[in-house]
Amino acid sequence: MKRNIYLDFSYLLILAASFGAVIVLGAIVAPVIFHSDTFLVGMLIDHYNEGIIMGEIFRRFSYWVYFLAAYVALYEVYMYKNGQRDAILFGAAVTVLFSSLMFAAVYSPKILAMQKLGHEATQSDTFQNIHIASELDFKLLALALLVLFIRRLMLLRIN
């Protein structure tokens, strides 16, 4: 089978960029947004409005996540049809698909809808549970992207 190096490279690039974005959003952007009081002098943003800002960032990031899910699905189906089958790849790809779609299609819209209801809605146990679940899902997405990237790279080196 003749390999398409540009397709493989673009796939690895998309995976790496997505992993980097998840890490940057989770480990850098969110802590800065939610601790803006330490950076802003004379201007305070309350926790609710910090959440609104972070929600908008994640809403916009959801478009990339939809693209990621589609790209992973198409590429992995193509590789599967060409005989490159691997249990680790399959598990990681399915995890990327489900966690990305849960983030973009379930958690982000629910959090944004509750934020639109006002400050009181974001203080509820339901909101807290959805938020915790979305954080876990985001971490799972990062791990699955890393595994998928490493395993795909390993298989490309073998072939």
pLDDT per residue as tens digits for the range 50-102:
999 999 999 999 999 999 999 999 999 999 999 888 999 999 999 999 999 99
φ and ψ at 42, to 5 degrees?
80, 0
Separation CA 35–CA 10 (nearest Å): 36
Residue 81 domain boundaries: 5-158
Whole-structure pTM value: 0.93
Phi, psi of 14 (to 5 degrees): -65, -45
Give the tokens for residue 17.
Answer: 């960029």
Domain count, the chain: 1
SS3 45: coil
Instruction: Provide the pLDDT confidence category of residue 125 given band limits of 50, 70 and 90.
Output: very high
Q: How far apart are CA 137 and CA 134, in angstroms?
A: 5
- Decide if 57 contacts 29 (C-beta within 8 A): yes
